[in-house]
Amino acid sequence: MALVYDATLTPSKQDLVVAWLPSRPWAADIEVTAKVGEYRFDDPAGEVGVETILFSAADGRLVQVPLTYRGAPLPGAEAFLVGTSEHSVLGPRWVYDGCGDPVWAATLAAAILTGGSQAPMYFDRDGARIDIPPRVQARGSGEPGSAAPAIASVDASSEQDTTTLVRCGDLELVLPRVVGTPVEAEQTLTGTWSGGEAVLAGLRRTTG
């Protein structure tokens, strides 16, 4: 379950992403215009927020940006810091590109390998749970009950045009930053949303 606080984030997620995108080699000509939807995964430890947001761009493309939200800096991940923001309930938040955060990698790999789906989201308003209908449905291609990997660190992250490759031990996660980019992988995460469906991520095993 993903608890979504009825709160404000200053600057907002979209403002942070808009300011960060020009520094990314894969996004030099992308102008984000609106948020289409999001999907979340649960951090088993309950410490890190894990969310991937789909944004529409001015040229008609759809861009996905995985983000993690932390209450303190992630050591060694300075290159992946999107920015800092003030959460009206939780206080200061360090917002990272998920491709540099092992919690994002672990939750994504687990969802793909076990056939998992996005975490249900809800508000807690005066002690009452209010469910939030998902705008993006995501599901892995694996089988329920399959073993989920233990990922404690991200070994390397590299860019290939508009695709990011994230190496985690003998696993490699494939993230198409521009939705619709072909994904070559043994197993995948597929997403559906109003008016669209595409492979949002892939997982493959590496050798050497």
Most confident of 68-77, 83-92, 127-136, 141-150: 68-77
Query: pLDDT, tens digit, for every residue of 116-158?
Result: 999 887 766 666 677 778 899 999 999 998 988 889 999 988 9
Query: Shortest CA distance to 31 belongs to which of 3, 7, 59, 54?
Result: 59
**Counted domains in the chain:** 1
Q: How far lies 125's CA from each of 6, 10, 38, 88, in Å? A: 8, 21, 21, 15
What's the DSSP call for residue 163? E
pLDDT of 3 reads 58
Q: Which domain holds residue 45?
A: 2-205
Cα 79 from Cα 57, distance rounded (Å): 24
Q: Coil, strand or helix: which one is 103?
A: helix
Q: Is the pTM of this model over 0.95?
A: no
